[in-house]
Chains A and B, each alone.
Chain A
Amino acid sequence: MGKDVFEIVVNCVKMLLIFLVMVQLVPILVWLERRVSAFMQNRFGPNRVGPLGLIQLLADAVKFLFKEPFFPEKGMAVMYYGAPIMALIPGALALAAIPLGAPFHLEQFTWLGREWGPYDFIMQGYDFGVGIVIVLGVSSLGAYSLLMAGWGSSNKYSLLGALRASAQMVSYELALGLSLVGILMVFNTFSFYDIIAQQTGMPLTFNFFGKVHSIAWLPNWGIFFNPLGALIFFCASFAETNRLPFDLPEAEGELVAGFHTEYGGFALLMFYIGEYGHMMVASALMATFYFGGYTIPYVANESVANWVSSGGLATHPNWAAFLTSLIFFLVFLLKVFLFLLIYIWVRWTLPRFRYDQLMDLGWKTMLPWALFNTVLTAVWLAFSHRPV
């Protein structure tokens, strides 16, 4: 936690901030979803309330808060009320385990009449060193919120939705986990910081039959080492987040609203936050593994620090360090937003799969291809470092 009051307080505030980032990005994403879908379908979308329709979100929040909460007659209270809370936990915990910006170092400083520091802070809730294993483990608990909601509602549509959801999540988790094995073999580590550090630097450098080659105009990103794995990971993450084209758990044409049929008001909002939280985690993992994390392509990390300290933005080195980290955080957020936009784009482009198509895609297409990707990466790694 920390060695003195300052560090403990900063770490606690950091956890809270990461949770709030997740929660506060949801209205913006909802707004984006409406506006982008309207743009794609040649409509206007909500544009009456406030500039660009942004105040509409506030009206929505008020509506969610003031709706009457209700409880199904034969429902199970523990599960019915527990499910929305359970929906928030995995997303928030997983997001807290991903580095959102470069770690920064604070020199010793005087504040409130005593000496503090030096400190090292990470732009991340917690770091156990095995990064991705914990993220996958925590986010795999997301299925329980759907199962609890489906069972606790005591409604056939809810139950069917929950069963579909859990079958789908378990099936696609395999492909999701296996698709990451390739990139983990390339980087040879579990730690997010090591993975990002290996993707920093400008020319794309790789070994081929023992000789070092480089392509000068490409950044050193994971996607160039493992494009197939990236594709499978991104597709499987759609199924994990229950988004279209994989939103069979809440197929409204067949199941009313699936597992959250019996929910309304704030509880429903919490399910939405959980879903968007999963999207953010998937996008953040995509950015971290395949697109260089918080680093900026074509710009060295040191030159950002130099630019901040020499440009007169911050005079004190501590503020400069913090500001540098903040710039990296914004870069990371930009990358995450690009992937979130792709999520929205796909949702409004592709139709929903049929259930047997979904299972076929998961078990007969993605899983074999993910296995093939693992084997291919292993063979490639074995040969590329060996001279002919």
Chain B
Amino acid sequence: MKLLKYFLPVILALVIISCSDDDDDVAPVNEIGDLIKVQDISNDEHTIEVYTKSGKLVQGYNDITVRIKDNLTQDFVENATISWKPVMHMIEKTHSCPKSDLVKVTDKQTVYNGYIIFTMAENETEKWDLTFNYTIDGTAYEVVDFIAVPASSKQTITSVMGVDGVKYVLALIEPQKPEVKINDITIGLFKMESMMSFPVVENYKINLDPRMPSMGNHSSPNNQDLFFNATSNMYDGKLSLTMTGYWKLNLILRNQNNEILKGEAVTDENEASTLYLEIEF
């Protein structure tokens, strides 16, 4: 009987809750999960909601999810084709940065996903804007607004000139949450074809040598160089981190013929490579 005394209200509550579900209008399907909204970018007809895990955009790699809301019906559009274009407005010039296509997420109705790698941070006078071009039922729309891209405290992206005269962009994609273990490391490698075009570079190789400058350039064992992954269009390898703190990932970029395009081996005389990314955790 004592048990019943406690369970009865619980059961009742459950009944009430489960019943009340059916009464409301159909709620918009939440396909965003625990992503956090960065900002809304609107025109007269639609609002593009921009989401990331942190609710922020940063210099470097950003995994971005968007959805399009009809301003009139408040419904989310399910049948759009959409593309995007980030543009940096510098004093002297404008340029874009590496990005993926924006594609509808498989198994989901309302969300579109892709990545943008902001090659630089904004400052007082130089800002990024983000343009979305999308088509719904044959009608094309455009929406654009400024976005905030603050500087990363660590170098998670680097633009370098290879000995072949090509400008390359390397961005750290994984690990986003580094741990003391053998981490999967993913780097995006792009070349700058023009100010607006940054295609993926395929089938190169990136040598990895992580070091801790504060520990007399301590390095870790069992790292693996990064090779091209044709499925993800990125470079995958293994990164061992033996302790928390600041790590400098010294890199050497090699082409298909294994020729060094950028970077130097770390030795007793040479503390670091000129091609590097950074992690601190």
A, B co-complexed: no
